[in-house]
Structure formats: C-alpha cells, structure tokens
Amino acid sequence: MKYLVTGGTGFIGRFLVERLLKRRGSRVYVLMRKASADKYDALRERLGVSEERLIPVWGDITRQGVTDAATRRSLADEIDHVFHLAAVYDMGMSDAVADRVNNEGTRNLVDFANELGGNVRLHHMSSVAVAGAEFDGVFSDEMFDEGQPLRHPYYRTKFQSEKIVREHARVPWRVYRPGMVVGHSETGEMDKVDGPYYFFKAIQTIRDRVPKWMPLLGIGGGQMPIAPVDYVVDATDRIAHLEADKWDGRAYFLLQQKAPSAGGMLATFMEAAHGPSFVRQLPTQDIPAGFEQTFRQIAGRMPMARTLEKQLSSALGVPLSILGYVNNRTEFDDRNTRSALRGSKVKCPPLADYAETLWRYWELHMDYDVKVPKRLMTRVRGKVVLITGASSGIGFITAKKLAKGGAKVCLVARNPDKLAETREIIAKMGVESWTYPCDLNKMEAIDAMVEKVLADHHHVDILINNAGRSIRRSAFESFERFHDYERTMQLNYFGAVRLIMALLPGMGKRRTGQIINISSIGCLTNVPRFSAYVASKSALDAFSRCISGEVASRNIDITTIYMPLVRTPMIAPTKLYDYVPTLTPEQAGDMVVSAVIERPKRIASPLGTTAQVSYALWPKVNDYVLNKAFHMFPSSAVARGKRPGTEEEKPTLRGMVMAALLPGPYW
C-alpha cells in the first residue's frame, strides 16, 4: 500500500505514520513544507526507516494545488490512501488563521485527492468539535448538521472543513472524529499541554499542599470525550483498511464509551497523582452551556477586554474555552465506530487504566515550571554537581532544580537510555547537562566514571549520593537470602564510599566542597523489616560522621538527609505504600535544595528526631511500639513465598491510622 499523509509530523500524525509503516510493503509519502525539513529528518530518525519508505513530498495545503504540477503527475494513480491530518488546533486562534488552514487547506487537499485518480480513498481527521460546545443531547456519528451553535473558530472550521469533504470529494471518503486526545496509554507520550492537562498543575499543587486524608469537594460537569492517541491511531488504521464500500461516506467518533464526567476525570487524575480524594461532586447544571460566550459578551463591553480575558485565563491556568467545556452537555454515540471495530481487538481503554501513566509522563517530561529560590542560584551557578540515581525519583527532580539554578549537572545512573531522556528533558528547560552511565555496584565502573567526569569538568563541587536499593523483608524471611544484605550494602554503602573517596582528594586540594548523602528516616526510627536497608544507610551515616571531623578544616561539608518515605519508583513494587502518607519527589527535591543552600550537618523531620531521642531514653518502649507496628503491616506476598499480585497487600485499619499519625517511616 502507498499512503500520503498531511500533518505527518504532528502528534497524531507521527503515530499514524509509524502504524502505517508496520504494514508489509507499505510506503508513506508525507506532505511537508520546505521550512519544516528538520521535522521530516526527526521523524525518519524516530521511526528508523529509509527515505525509500518514508518519502517527503514538498508542498503546503494552504496553496492551490498543494504541491507542484510535476509532483502531482508523479503521484497520480500511485496513492491508495490519503490521510488528511494537517490542521491548526489552537483554542486562541483567530478566525483568519482558522479559515486559511482548516478550511482552505482542506479544500485544496480535497481537490488534490480528486486529481490523483485511481482507487484513492480520502481519510479526513475531523473532531468531536463538529458538535460545537453548546449542543444539548445525544450526538451520534451519523449526525452532522443539527443546527448546533459554532461560535469558536476551532469548532466552526472543524464543522466547515468536514462539510467541504462531504460536498466536494469525488473520491470515496471516511471521516474520523477523535475526542480529547491525550497521551499514549502505554508510554504516556504527549507533545503539549492541552485538554485535561491544563488542570494538572492545579492537581499537583493540591497534592503537595493538602494532606492526603483531607476530603475534597469536586464538581460534576459534563461528559469528557477522552481518548488516548494510540487508540485513535489504531482505530483509524483499522477502519481505513476495511475494504467494503459500505464504510465509505461515514463519520466515526473515536472516544471512550461511557466517557467520564469532568468531575470524574479530575478525580481520576487526582488519584493518579496520589492526592486527596473527592468525596462529593457539586452539580454544575446551573452553569450556562455558553459560559465562554457569555463572558466574552460581557467582557467585550468593558475597556481592555482582551487583556482582562488573558489575565483571567492566566490566573486560572486554563483557557476560557476549555473551562467553558467543563459543563459540556453533549453525549457522544460512536455507533458507526463500534460497528466497524466489531470483532477486532481495537478498544478504547478506560481512563482509570492509564491515568497514572499520563500523569507520570507529564510530571517527568512536561512540567517545566521548576521554581527555585534565588539563593540557590547564588550558591550553585557555575558549580559542578554530580547526582547519582539521577534518571528518576528524587535524583531526577533534584537534577531539574539544580540545573534550573545554573549548576553544571552531571547525571549518573545505570540505564543509558533513561539518562539520555533525562538530559533531553533538562535541555527543554534551556539548560545543558552531562550524562555518565555507570553501574554503582561495580567499583571499577565508578573509577572509570569519575575519571571521565574529572576529564570533562576538572573537579566536582557538590556530590549527591542519591542512588540506593531498598529491601522490605523481615529477618525471619531472610535466612536463605543473605545476598539481600550483600547487594544492599554493595550499592548503598560501598558504592557511595568509593565515590566519596574518588572525589574527596579534589575537594581537599581545592579546599571546598559538599557531600550530601540521601539517607533514611529508618536510621532514626529503626522500623522493622528494613534491617538490610537501614544497616547500609546507617553504615554510610557513620562513615560520614567520622570523616566530618577530618575534612572540616578544608571547608568540606557533609550533609545527611534522613529522608521520609517518598513516592518514587524504588517503593512502587510495595503496594502497601499506596495506603500510607508519603512525600512527593518534588517535596523531597526541595529538601535537597535546602541542603545545598544551607549546608547543614543533617536534615531530619520532627518525627525522625523525636524517634531518635525516644529510642535513646526509652528503648524498650520503642521496641514495644515497633513490634505492634510490625504486626499491623503485613509482609509482601513475595516475602511470604507467594507470587506477586496473588494477595492484596493492604494494611489493617489500625495500621492505616498509625501510618497517618506517624507519617514518614517505611513501614
């Protein structure tokens, strides 16, 4: 099969091109403007294909003929399918831009497809926007012109461009109407903040500032026609290749059946962010469907109306057009899509199944709003900082913050691909960083890594020993697993000490430096089941305390952070932690930033310090309390010799109460 795709380098487009290239013997022509040649190169590199299979066609949908006459003649009778995805999606677009790209571009593309001849079939990517923002009732994919209001340029031109296809295409056509397209359900990949993503920052703020146990009031809202990009692409590909003519001349909604309400969607994402729960949703029926239009009409009579609108949107963090859609009254019926996909494995997953994947991707890759105190910039600008375990969790957040502060951040972790990804994320913030893949379990690898770092930067000003391994298993469950103690000590103690000893001579010679060790609150609270982990962290703690007196005269500070429980990939396998209070990586990163600025001897939570004093004064009382906690929190299924996931790992009610009263320890 031979395909021509417009918008092939866009978000949906690049996934569709990838999907089409998986078909045996397929060749994909992508319509490109000369000015976007770099995007074609990036797409070909991303997909790892040759120019013989991914072929650029230089042109522009906004010009008559789309491409030059010679190219049109060469493509005549060659193309089997034309996929038209190129369009402007910008809720702040002007009428002129919307008309030029979405309408005239579609008209030119339809004429182009008509001219191709042969057995070409046209596939037009429309949108649920054809129903407008104020339609009240059920809108099926059999419906089109129902007299619905279309006040916004985007809604209007998506309707009009679909109408152009319906009225002017002389070749067989099929129309696809995706809903609110979000990231990939398996990877979370997304390219911009849009739709529900506008609310993510507010969700993050609530999660970080409101206790998880505090109930929240939410909103009801209307149906949110959401769909992950992989479903949109898989469904489009499947429907496009149905051979029977009966599928032509139809539109297909691409969205989740039984779509969540606005309030349900926000509650799902709040749960994915591990924030507090919405216990009640307030009705929103009294908000007029034309909220956005009403506001614009009122504001339009006021001086500086456009400025007022921008200020309100900025304060809310959400465009008014998106906010107005929260009370959407349209219910979408995808009967054509269900019929076309019957018998296939293509189904739209429910949002709850992949919401956490979307959230994690946004927080790692798209949350560039990194705020750092001015004092950090003064402290680290131009300084070389080496962070271990920098590709995820605390290390990743710390790297973003210190890079934002102007530090030369050296990223160290075992996985080269994740390190490269971390460097790309930091680069999007406009900051350079350096990657050094290294298995910190191997002493020779540490030596080689340090040698390369020193060759590149000549010295290291701040070392942050963050990489670590945690094992939650009681001594009675470890008699046959002595290797757990060996490998934990190898990484958490010997690896960290080797790195300190390798960098300490340079710090001593320059008579300045700081070593920050990410330890554990467990070293202060002595929690059960963590004898391997806490022992390794305590060993590093003792080593650091001993050498502190040796290096103080050389202006070298050693800081230990007794970190409470943090929701990182390290604790993810322990499902028990889904039920206990934790810090976010953002909050943990702030603790590291504080350590860099203040250079204290230690940082510990009030609970950790209290536990340490309590154990010194009343050790038997502490043992009694910890023994009770030991029985309240069950061992993992694996530790008990069961297969993972065969038994629910959930604390008792008494255990959850204790975790809420004593938040922070690794229970």
Calculate the alpha carbon distances from 205 to 211, 296, 663 in Å: 11, 29, 20
> Is the dihedral angle over the CA atoms 296, 299, 304, 308 positive or is it negative?
negative
Task: Specify if 320 maps to a domain.
Answer: no
Q: Are 500 and 463 in contact (CB under 8 A)?
A: yes
Q: Convert the pLDDT of each residue in 206-222 to its tens digit.
A: 887 787 778 888 878 88
Confidence of residue 72 (pLDDT cuts 50, 70, 90): very high
Task: Specify if 328 maps to a domain.
Answer: no
Task: Specify if 164 maps to a domain.
Answer: yes
Helix (DSSP H) and strand (DSSP E) numbers for the chain: 26, 20
With a CB cutoff of 8 Å and minimum separation 6, the contacts of 548 are 558, 601
Task: Specify if 149 maps to a domain.
Answer: yes
**What is d(CA 391, CA 369) in angstroms, rounded to the nearest whole number?**
18
Q: Convert the pLDDT of each residue in 85-143 to its tens digit.
A: 999 887 777 889 999 999 999 999 999 999 998 889 999 999 999 999 889 999 999 99
Residue 73 belongs to domain with CATH number: 3.40.50.720
The dihedrals phi and psi of 413, each to the nearest 5 degrees, come to -165, 170
Give one DSSP letter per residue of 275-322, joined into a string. -PPEEEEE--TTS-TTHHHHHHHHHHTSTTHHHHHHHHHHHHTS-HHH
Calculate the alpha carbon distances from 543 to 440, 547, 558, 596, 621 in Å: 18, 6, 11, 20, 29
Task: Specify if 341 maps to a domain.
Answer: no
Q: Convert the pLDDT of each residue in 76-100 to its tens digit.
A: 989 999 999 999 887 777 889 999 9
- Mean pLDDT, to the nearest integer, of 254-264? 93
Q: Are 152 and 321 in contact (CB under 8 A)?
A: yes
Q: What is the reported pTM?
A: 0.78
Domain count, the chain: 2
Q: Give the 3-state secondary structure percentages of the chain, helix then strand then coil, rounded to 5.
A: 50, 15, 35
Confidence of residue 491 (pLDDT cuts 50, 70, 90): very high
443: nearest Cα among 394, 385, 500, 517: 500
Q: Are 262 and 224 in contact (CB under 8 A)?
A: yes
* Listed ranges 10-14, 88-92, 95-99, 359-363; the one with the highest mean pLDDT: 10-14
**What is d(CA 261, CA 268) in angstroms, rounded to the nearest whole number?**
10
Q: Which structure tokens are listed for 451?
A: 């040698």
The dihedrals phi and psi of 215, each to the nearest 5 degrees, come to -70, 145
Q: Which structure tokens are listed for 373?
A: 């105190």
pLDDT exceeds 90 at position 279: no
> Does residue 533 have an active-site annotation?
yes
**What is d(CA 508, CA 515) in angstroms, rounded to the nearest whole number?**
12
**What is d(CA 92, CA 103) in angstroms, rounded to the nearest whole number?**
17
CA angle 616, 617, 623 (to 5 degrees): 75
Task: Specify if 14 maps to a domain.
Answer: yes
Task: Specify if 607 maps to a domain.
Answer: yes
**What is d(CA 5, CA 666) in angstroms, rounded to the nearest whole number?**
52
- Mean pLDDT, to the nearest integer, of 435-442? 96
Q: Convert the pLDDT of each residue in 292-307 to its tens digit.
A: 455 445 544 555 545 5
Q: What is the model's pLDDT at position 205?
A: 86
**What is d(CA 588, CA 243) in angstroms, rounded to the nearest whole number?**
56
Q: What is the model's pLDDT at position 581?
A: 60
The amino acid at 512: T
**What is d(CA 357, CA 273) in angstroms, rounded to the nearest whole number?**
10
Options 436, 533, 562, 666, the catalytic residue: 533
Residue 67 DSSP symbol: B
Q: What domain range is 96 assigned to?
A: 1-126+140-178
Task: Specify if 440 maps to a domain.
Answer: yes
Q: What is the model's pLDDT at position 299?
A: 47
> Per mean pLDDT, which range of 108-122, 223-237, 548-562, 601-615 is the poorest?
601-615
